Amino acid sequence: MISTQTLFHTDRLTLRAPRLSDAEAIFHNYARDPEVTRYLVWRPHRAVTETEAFLRLCLEGWERQTELTWVLTLRDLDDAIGMVAVRPSDPSEHAVNFGYVLARKYWGQGMMTEAAGRLMEWISSTPGIYRIWATCDVENVASARVLEKLGMQREGVLRRWEVRPNISPEPRDSLVYAWVR
């Protein structure tokens, strides 16, 4: 199992554990934006209370070690602009997968590559972790490019893998990328 380091820094970003007080910033910066959530597995939040409920789940994930979620902030500000979540793959625990979201204002600036790259560096140095993997919708070219920039290899297409409710009520194909030791 990976350790539970709660704070990382990059040149431009801080990655830290979430707090309930992040709800307003998350809601206003990206959780309610239909363009940001288009390829995600959740619908845009309609109220801050939905974001608060989500943050409670994130905190439970930390407590149970089932999903570790970091809030992304600009290094000099403490305003949430995105998140990265890492999930150990049961039952083996030799692999982890991750997902991410970033406010539209910061797209195309290399922010997610910087944040996820820092977490991949940390996870890949963990003894016993042999695989880090992620998926993205087959139409999400920008996310696929982030995964490629992280040095992950495209392994193939997972047919009818996941429902992306903002596009279709039916499961959609996903690209799967991985880094392996």
Can you give the pLDDT of all 181 residues of the chain as single tens digits? 556 678 999 999 999 999 999 999 999 999 999 999 999 999 999 999 999 999 999 999 998 888 999 999 999 999 999 999 999 876 567 899 999 999 999 999 999 999 999 999 999 998 889 999 999 999 999 999 999 999 999 999 999 999 999 999 999 999 999 999 9
Range of the domain at 110: 7-180
Judge contact between 54 and 18, C-beta under 8 A. Answer: no
Q: Is residue 128 part of a domain?
A: yes
Amino acid letter for position 101: V
Does 1 fall in a domain?
no
DSSP bridge pairs for 69: 85
Sign of dihedral through CA atoms 105, 134, 6, 58? Answer: positive
Residue 2 lies in a domain: no
Report how far residue 111's alpha carbon sits from residue 142's, in angstroms, rounded to the nearest whole number: 12
pLDDT tens digits along 163-180? 999 999 999 999 999 999
SS3 7: strand
* Whether the bond into 91 is cis, omega within 30 of 0: yes
Q: Phi then psi for 135, rounded to 5 degrees?
A: -125, 160
pLDDT tens for 31-58 read 999 999 999 999 999 999 999 999 999 9
Overall number of domains in the chain: 1
Is residue 140 assigned to a domain?
Answer: yes
What sign does the CA torsion over 70, 110, 39, 28 have? positive
* 99 within domain boundaries: yes
The domain that holds 86 is classified in CATH as 3.40.630.30
Place of tokens 């910066």: 29
Q: pTM score, two decimals?
A: 0.93
